[in-house]
């Protein structure tokens, strides 16, 4: 099976997937931020990239049609979102129905959207976590595939919680992806 990873940032989850032996090939990185570190990681791993900037296109449909073209070119069958900071539009959702997954740094449906870690700290919850879910048209709303809880300490900070979350994500996401491939 061929997988595409979509990312906008550092790509540590992308790296964790690259570093895991999967029954699949990571065939493409799609990135909307030319300066993002995930692009370097792809180059180092010899993974082809489709890098774009939304501002160069009339609308979401226009850039998603180009993404779709790349996905088809590489024969991609599963899309893995790993810190991709854009909502997936109808163009990709229809072409990859039930074949797009995302990882989110909270126990959904709590704290969807941006800065889930900040939201959890603000809410003073004792437990947060990580969710892997199928992607639908909403913001972090699709069917949940897997979750892992994380206890917050008394003096938890954004940095410390972020570190805990990444550690869990890097273990959980490749495992869930491997499960989906079987």
Q: Which alpha helices (DSSP H) does 4-136 contain, by range?
A: 12-18, 37-44, 60-73, 90-95, 116-122
The size of the interface with ligand GRF (CB under 6 A), counted in residues, is 14
Place of tokens 């890097």: 170
Q: Is 170 an active-site residue? A: no
7 forms part of the interface with ligand GRF (CB under 6 A) = yes
Confirm or reject binding of residue 10 to ligand GRF (CB under 6 A). Answer: yes
Of 11-19, 61-69, 93-101, 121-129, which part binds ligand GRF (CB under 6 A)? 11-19
Kindly state the tokens that stand for 136: 């639908």
Which residues are CB-neighbours of 129 under 8 A, at least 6 positions away? Answer: 106, 107, 147, 148, 149, 150, 165, 168
* 87 annotated to a ligand binding site: yes
The H or E element that residue 173 is part of is helix 158-181
Window contacting ligand GRF (CB under 6 A); options: 25-33, 45-53, 71-79, 100-108: 100-108
132 binds ligand GRF (CB under 6 A): no
Structure tokens at 182: 């079987």
Q: Which is nearer to ligand GRF, 12 or 141 (CB)?
A: 12
Chain residues that interact with ligand GRF, rule: CB under 6 A: 7, 9-14, 82-83, 103-105, 165, 169
């Amino acid at each position: 099976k061929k997988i595409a990873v979509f990312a906008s940032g550092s790509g540590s989850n992308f790296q964790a997937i690259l570093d895991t032996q999967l029954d699949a090939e990571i065939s493409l990185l799609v990135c909307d931020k030319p300066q993002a570190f995930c692009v370097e990681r792809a180059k180092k791993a010899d993974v082809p990239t489709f890098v774009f900037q939304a501002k160069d296109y009339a609308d979401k449909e226009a850039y998603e049609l180009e993404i779709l073209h790349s996905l088809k070119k590489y024969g991609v069958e599963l899309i893995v979102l790993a810190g991709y900071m854009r909502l997936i539009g109808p163009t990709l959702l229809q072409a990859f129905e039930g074949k797009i997954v995302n990882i989110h740094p909270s126990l959904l449906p709590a704290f969807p959207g941006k800065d889930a870690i900040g939201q959890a700290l603000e809410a003073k919850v004792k437990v947060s976590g990580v969710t892997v879910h199928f992607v639908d048209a909403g913001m972090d709303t699709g069917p949940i595939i897997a979750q892992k809880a994380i206890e917050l300490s008394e003096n938890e900070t954004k940095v410390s919680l972020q570190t805990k979350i990444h550690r869990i994500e890097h273990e959980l996401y490749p495992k869930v992806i491997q499960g989906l491939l079987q």
